[in-house]
Chain A
Amino acid sequence: MAMAADRDPIAAVLPNGREVVSGWAGTGGEEKRAPFTWNALLWSMVCPRRGHRLLPTVSGTLLIAVAFGIGAAAYNSSNNILFITLSLLLSCLLFSGLLSWLNLRRVLWRLRVTGPLRAGHDAVVAAELRNGRRFLPAYGLWLDFSARPVDDEAKGAESTFTARAADIRAALAAAERGERRARLPLADRVAPQGNAAAEWIVRPERRGRLRVELAGVASLFPFGFLRKDVGVGQRVEAVVWPAPVEYRRFAAPGAKRRGEGERERRAGGGSDLLALRRYAPGDSHRLVHWKASARSGALLVRQFAAESSEGCTLWIRTERELWREPARFELLVGFAATYAEDLFRQGRLRAVAIGREAPRPVRGVRDLEELLDRLALAAPSGESGGEATPDYRAGRGSVVVFAPEGPHGVAAFAEGIKVASA
């Protein structure tokens, strides 16, 4: 269950705008329903819709066994007392099925993954439910969640006829290994025309794409004899940022005072007014420009320019020949992401380049998030050498490059000086 105190403190400083939300779907959606026919009803009992199952629970199996026993005794003895009991048990079973169906009727759901997701840290996955019925609440719902990493290199489905059993087992085991599953109850009922949500805390193990799925909605309502399963199959894919890495810092890169007449056009903590922008939640009230707000009719806040030209550009080289060991490459990615975030907080990060691409300026949080997204999906590249690198120095401070250090480590160098290592 979600608790604010459990959330990642690093992620907490990032804006809460990175949500991935699926569309509403369910048993009572807006899709056009086929007209009711008895044939369709009977056929749906024989061959239910895909994912829709009605299975007896332990108590349901017990009830059926007891009904069988009493039925056998009733037919063997023609005893109406037993027939009465049999009728009551059968009607309990029928009613259970009917109410189970009714309970999940016109219930809509959607999946919401609240970002940012970071490897090794808890993330909130929420299933939102909406009861479309006018009068009847929905009771006792259970939600099946799953989350598993998505490999970048999508492998084509291999025929199980040609594959060896051991390979299939290994592939299944590998798929299962990274998968997380959970079944959570919805503690409250969903009131008529009301909404409710269940939150699942998932902790992704590694960076990359994560496929989060609301696999099913189930109900044991009313008596727990039958378990009604509705296969939902709602999926969203979210990007998991690299896990923060502990590193040692030796020097501050790009420490340089601004020269006379040199203008700095980036936001910072200086005293010069850079611009006015719209108020955003979290802005200090002291920054509100009241006169401008009164004139424009919308809240505006002041934005100041950075006081110094301190800053650096990160160049994250991803050549495979440089990072031969996958573990070291993962360390590089995590280190680069953590270092970039730290530099950004200090106001020293000017731009970042990954591989041979042109450096991209990091002016705000959105740029930083984009960087982390790209780092989340980064993989060793086949390209080689830094010969054809663009000019990183063009107004973007010193260049910090990463290089292997020691048997497993990674170090960051600025102007040939080691500034940090992990």
Chain B
Amino acid sequence: MKAAGKTAVRLRADEFRLLRWGLGAALSVLGAATVLYMEIEAPVLMTLAFAAALATALFPALPARVPRLVHPLAFPVIVMLFAADLWRGGELLPAVVRLGLLLLIYRNLSYRKRRDDLQVILLGLFLIIVAGVLTVSLTFAAHLLVYAAVALALLLVITLGEAAEAAAPSEPVGETPAWARSADWGALRRRLSAVADWRAVGLGAALFAGLVGLSALLFLAIPRFQFENSMFIERLVSRKARSGFAETIQLGQVSEIQLDSSVALSVDVADQARIPAMPYWRMLVLDDYAAGVFRQSPALRGQFRGERSAAFLPGASPRETEETEIWTFYLEAGVSRYLPLTGPFGGLRFRETVTFRHAPGPSLVALRDEPVAMMAYRVEAPGHGPLLLDPDFAARWAAREPGVSRGTPLYTRLALREPDREALRKAAADITGGATLAAPEFARRAGEWLRRRHAYSLSPSIPRGDVDPVVGWLVSDGAGHCELFAGSLVLLARSMGLPARVVTGFRGGSWNAYSNNFTVRNSEAHAWAEIFDESAGGWRRADPLQPDVAAQGAGAAGPAAAMARVDRSWTARLDSLRVFWYRRIVSFDDRAQAEALRTMKEAARDSSRWLVDRLSAWADSARRWLSGPWDARRWGAGVGTLGAAVFIGWILVTGRWRWRAGGVRRPDPVRREAGRWMAALRRAAGGEVSSWRVAADLERLRFGAPATWPDPGRTFTEARRAVRAARRARPVTPRT
């Protein structure tokens, strides 16, 4: 084989092979790295996969040291490990992920052929897709892009290297291949930089950008149908949400969540002024308390309606047909299976069919399974007032018989010993002064009383002993967290015969100035109380940690409050990417597709109109300018403009031709020198130089390919002699 064109550095077969090996190892690392954010128990296998890939990449001769017996036994052993894993764990997806990791490890411990490289690509792709589906995180997008680039590079190297490898001698089976013995990454790097052609590199980068662009276009254009099926892969893995937002909470579990500052919830709202100054995001209602543990009573659980699979849940609030306010919630994975809501709602729409239970009274929605990935849902006509109307409970409360409980929760039960009850009564009397107070007033006074006696702290000081922890803290003067404050308020209210319950969720949030959405972090986890207001017929929010009672209301955020919660930090920038991902990619559906196409059409139409208008305006101004009186200044401007246009055109044309010819090059000094000697010889010989042997060498130096050049120094010396000889008009040396 020979290349008769330009001579250039080419990679050899062993270099292609080493490059393939390295890219395969990189793909293995990328594939195994998915475990980092997939939250599947496989840290040991992941570490082993990293180690195997990196070690064999750095020392490609290592796989030859693996005993030969390992290779025939590898697959049976891997299959047995998979079966054992499946039998032990009982979950298919984690077992399959671990199987993929085992295969990746083995593929790095043996020399890969073409089909093995394809297997590595497929394994990595599988792991990335599983990770993407399970987490729906932005990391997936970055991961997939990097993985696609490396995988395509590997496939390209395989394609280009096949020709070179076909010409290379075959490697003996069972021995260390020659390319592995002589592997030198430094030398390969130098060769690659020598081979790299700016056109090829630029073209490759442009093509990859084009590939990503084309993918985006296809993503927009692929027709969507809503079959209303749920994603099967989510059922193959289970995950536990935070214990702070479960049906049973021990004291301190909500406060533990506050130590995490990651995003828990992002809310898309058309106008941030619609969000209250201090929004409360309700998730769970806990009505039963005993010995420092809050839980849902069986009666409250009974208020949940039967399990239902649907993509839409009609709510209790009236839904307006036009200008219905819609908030889109993006709940991060691992928060809870109870959806954060601000109160009653007109409707709840999911991205896909989900299985859930709904309790209209306490306005709670619980999914059957913990969402393993980000959960997106739209709330239509969300209510966010401090009062949650509950006509059913109001009717029950009105028809109650004092001292009689008939199974329905009345939220007045106190599972306390008598000394604790006595302590509660004393505290309540201290708060009310012996008067009977309505629920709002009692909540206000109790909150003041608690704040007066206790400081807020995430490290509470709870008295030890035989006393109930909440009552003991209540009568002490130690600092406490939100659960103690809320629990104390609930117990105080119940001791006064007022129905009360603990609510957990989030309070507050910030407005992301970059993505224009409301962000709630785990650090904003909170517990507060709800006390039944008989006169209003509903549950009134009572947050003992919020001194401003008005702020607990539904009042819209004023300009000052809105400005105060605007977040422009770097974290907000990163969060905005995540929200973009959720808004534009993850939540992209047929409606969004139609909207995007309509937007694109309108943008194209508007831009063409704008262009036509601008051109018309320029034409009009040019026409007016031309129709004006032509004085010397106007002539000068006209001629100057024309000259500039001609000059620019000339630059463009000549620049184009120079670019076509391979760019503007500085003349080579050897070529210039050869040209000078040619001219000198031509002058000395009277124009005829063909009889001079050195003339051919000078011509080659002047115009020939550098690879074919004779020694320039010797040629110039001969040229000097020839010029002298020609000047002395000596007999001409015949050309041989």
Contact = CB atoms under 8 A, between A and B. Distances in A.
Interface of A: 1, 58-59, 62, 66, 70, 73, 75-88, 90-92, 94-95, 99, 128, 131, 134-137, 139-142, 184-191, 193-199, 220-225, 290, 294
A185 B140 contact: no
B163 A187 contact: yes
B215 A84 contact: yes
A274 to B, nearest CB: 25
B3 A194 contact: yes
Contact of B586 (A81, A194, A195): A81
A78 B118 contact: no
A230 B623 CA distance: 56
Nearest to A88: B215
Contacts of B586: 80-81
B155 A224 contact: yes
B229 interface: yes
Contact of A222 (B159, B163, B164): B159
A99 B207 contact: yes
Interface stretch (B219-227, B291-299, B475-483, B640-648): B219-227
The 4 A-B residue pairs whose C-beta atoms are closest, nearest first, are A194-B5, A185-B163, A87-B218, A223-B155
Contacts of A186: 1, 163
A199 B4 contact: no
A220 B159 contact: yes
Contacts of B140: 81
Contacts of B222: 83, 86-87
Interface centre among B5, B162, B232 (most CB of A within 10 A): B5
Given A59-B155, A81-B132, A223-B152, A198 B211 contact: no
Contacts of A80: 219, 585-588
12 contacts: A62-B118, A76-B232, A77-B229, A80-B586, A80-B588, A128-B4, A131-B5, A140-B160, A194-B3, A195-B4, A196-B4, A196-B5
Given A75-B227, A79-B133, A191 B218 contact: no
A91 B155 contact: no
B6 A191 contact: yes
A150 to B, nearest CB: 28
Contacts of B216: 87
Given A1-B167, A84-B585, A140-B162, A194 B4 contact: yes
A95 B4 contact: no
B399 interface: no
B349 interface: no
Nearest to A90: B218
B604 interface: no
B6 A194 contact: yes
A81 B166 CA distance: 39
Interface in B196-238: 199-200, 203, 207, 210-211, 214-216, 218-219, 222, 224-232
Contacts of B141: 84
A349 B350 CA distance: 99
A223 B156 contact: yes
A367 to B, nearest CB: 32
Nearest to B230: A77
A85 B122 contact: no
A223 B208 CA distance: 13
Contacts of B587: 80
Contacts of A82: 129, 133
A66 B122 contact: yes
Contact of B3 (A87, A188, A224): A188
B277 interface: no
Interface of B: 1-6, 8, 10, 115, 118, 122, 125, 129, 132-133, 136, 140-141, 144, 148, 152, 155-156, 158-160, 162-164, 166-167, 199-200, 203, 207, 210-211, 214-216, 218-219, 222, 224-232, 351-352, 585-589, 660, 734
A77 B225 CA distance: 10
B5 A191 contact: yes
A59 B118 contact: yes
B227 A78 contact: yes
Given A1-B167, A87-B216, A87-B219, 13 more contacts: A78-B224, A78-B229, A78-B351, A81-B133, A81-B586, A84-B144, A90-B215, A91-B218, A134-B660, A140-B159, A187-B10, A189-B10, A196-B3
Nearest to A85: B129
B162 A190 contact: no
Nearest to B586: A80
Nearest to B225: A75
Contact of A77 (B3, B166, B352, B734): B352
Contacts of B136: 81
Contact of B164 (A87, A91, A92, A187): A187
Contacts of B203: 136
A285 to B, nearest CB: 9
Contact of B1 (A66, A76, A198): A198
Given A95-B207, A223-B152, A87 B159 contact: no
A159 B56 CA distance: 62
Contacts of A88: 144, 148, 211, 215
B133 A137 contact: no
B129 A70 contact: yes
Nearest to A223: B155
B167 A91 contact: no
Nearest to A84: B219
Contacts of B160: 139-140, 221
A225 B162 CA distance: 14
B20 to A, nearest CB: 12
A73 B130 CA distance: 12
A58 B6 CA distance: 34
Contact of B211 (A62, A95, A193): A95
A99 B218 CA distance: 18
Given A62-B118, A137-B200, A95 B231 contact: no
Nearest to A81: B132
Contacts of B155: 59, 222-225
